[in-house]
């Protein structure tokens, strides 16, 4: 099964932009599933998961957030933030005609899902949070900030893949095919012949130079939908105590993925099976 590429126009504070996405399967009686990627990633990270969900009869949509993948970059980098991303997602849901959706969010994609789920009249039926929660510790944010603003150039795919293996070592065990796929969907070739990462380095602009803890527990308390939390055993972003506090709330299930950091890649059968079973309920 191959994904279909499409896009929608959406309105930001500085005008209209194009938001790209890939779609798997066909619309049906069940809610669409939105799969939203991490900070520097794209919707193609979910290819393995989306194909499996589509094979179960689900319609799956995996957008590239503004400044990533095939979506337009923003002229004003200070607009790169959750309010802008929510606006883009709102336009996407309207274009899909979706009043209710299921949501799988990895890292930043999970934060966006949390923020939407806390709003009045929100559309999310069931939410999967992949290695993210309502408390983000400063050391992990500093680690992420250190590489996000860089704009490395690679001479070839081998150098690109080596970089991705280093930066995303927390993804855990992946096959050689998985790494090749990640490299193929993570970069673009520019006119000078080099390979660059598939995101605008300016997405780092709104991030503070000196990281501080982010506490969203008040927002968390206003969310009542069923939630599956996946936590990498070695994660520095979703701490054990944060995950345990989340799991203490009724309707929240927690699964710790052994031997994995930030974030579980959602490419192995066990992770995919857990997500699929939760969304099938």
Q: What is the pLDDT of residue 209?
A: 84
Q: What is the pLDDT of residue 149?
A: 81
Domains in the chain: ranges and CATH:
4-280 (3.40.50.1820)
Residue 206 DSSP one-character state: T
Yes or no: say if 37 and 45 are a contact pair by the CB < 8 Å rule: yes
Q: Name which residue leads in pLDDT, 210 or 101.
A: 101
SS3 label, residue 261: coil
Q: How confident is the model at residue 108 (pLDDT cuts 50, 70, 90)?
A: very high
Q: What is the pLDDT of residues 270-279, one digit of tens each?
A: 999 999 999 9
Is 221 a residue whose pLDDT tops 80? yes
263 contacts: CB under 8 Å, gap ≥ 6: 38, 106, 107, 130, 131, 132, 170, 171, 232, 235, 237
pTM of this prediction?
0.97
Distances in Å between the Cα of 119 and the Cα atoms of 88, 139, 272 are 15, 29, 28
Is 130 a residue whose pLDDT tops 90? yes
Q: What is the pLDDT of residues 41-97, one digit of tens each?
A: 999 999 999 999 999 999 999 999 999 999 999 999 999 999 999 999 999 999 999
Handedness of CA 265, 269, 272, 275 (dihedral sign): negative
Yes or no: say if 256 and 242 are a contact pair by the CB < 8 Å rule: no
15 contacts: CB under 8 Å, gap ≥ 6: none
Residue 185 DSSP one-character state: T
Return d(Cα 100, Cα 114) in angstroms, integer: 15
Yes or no: say if 228 and 128 are a contact pair by the CB < 8 Å rule: yes
Largest CA distance in the chain: 54
Q: Name which residue leads in pLDDT, 148 or 149.
A: 148
Yes or no: say if 131 and 171 are a contact pair by the CB < 8 Å rule: no
Angle at 237 between CA 162 and CA 204, to 5 degrees: 65
Element counts in the chain: helices (H) and strands (E): 9, 13
Q: How confident is the model at residue 20 (pLDDT cuts 50, 70, 90)?
A: very high
Return d(Cα 66, Cα 159) in angstroms, integer: 26
Is 210 a residue whose pLDDT tops 90? no
Mean of pLDDT values over 147-162? 92
Is 1 a residue whose pLDDT tops 80? no
Question: Mean pLDDT over all residues of the chain?
Answer: 96
For tokens 């990462």, name the residue: 197
């Amino acid at each position: 099964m191959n994904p279909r590429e499409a896009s929608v126009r959406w309105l930001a504070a500085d005008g209209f932009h194009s938001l790209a996405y890939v779609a798997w399967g066909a619309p049906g009686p069940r809610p669409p599933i939105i799969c939203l990627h991490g900070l520097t990633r794209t919707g193609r990270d979910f290819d393995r998961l989306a194909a499996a969900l589509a094979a179960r009869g689900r319609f799956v949509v995996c957008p590239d957030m503004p400044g990533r993948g095939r979506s337009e970059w923003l002229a004003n980098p200070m607009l790169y933030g959750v309010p802008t991303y929510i606006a883009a997602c709102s336009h996407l849901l309207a274009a899909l005609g979706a009043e209710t959706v299921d949501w799988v969010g990895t890292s930043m994609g999970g934060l966006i899902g949390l923020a939407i789920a806390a709003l009045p009249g929100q559309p999310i039926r069931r939410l999967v949070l992949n290695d993210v929660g309502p408390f983000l510790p400063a050391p992990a944010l500093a680690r992420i900030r250190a590489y996000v603003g860089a704009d490395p150039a690679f001479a070839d795919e081998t150098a690109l893949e080596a970089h991705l293996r280093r930066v995303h070592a927390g993804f855990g065990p992946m096959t050689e095919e998985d790494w090749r796929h990640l490299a193929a969907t993570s970069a673009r070739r520019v006119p000078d012949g080099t390979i660059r990462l598939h995101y605008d380095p300016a997405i780092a602009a709104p991030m503070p130079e000196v990281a501080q803890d982010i506490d969203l527990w008040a927002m968390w308390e206003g969310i009542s939908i069923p939630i599956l939390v996946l936590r990498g055993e070695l994660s520095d972003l979703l701490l054990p105590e944060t995950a345990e506090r989340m799991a203490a709330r009724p309707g929240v299930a927690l699964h710790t993925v052994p031997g994995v950091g930030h974030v579980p890649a959602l490419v192995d059968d066990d992770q995919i099976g857990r997500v699929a079973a939760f969304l099938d309920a």
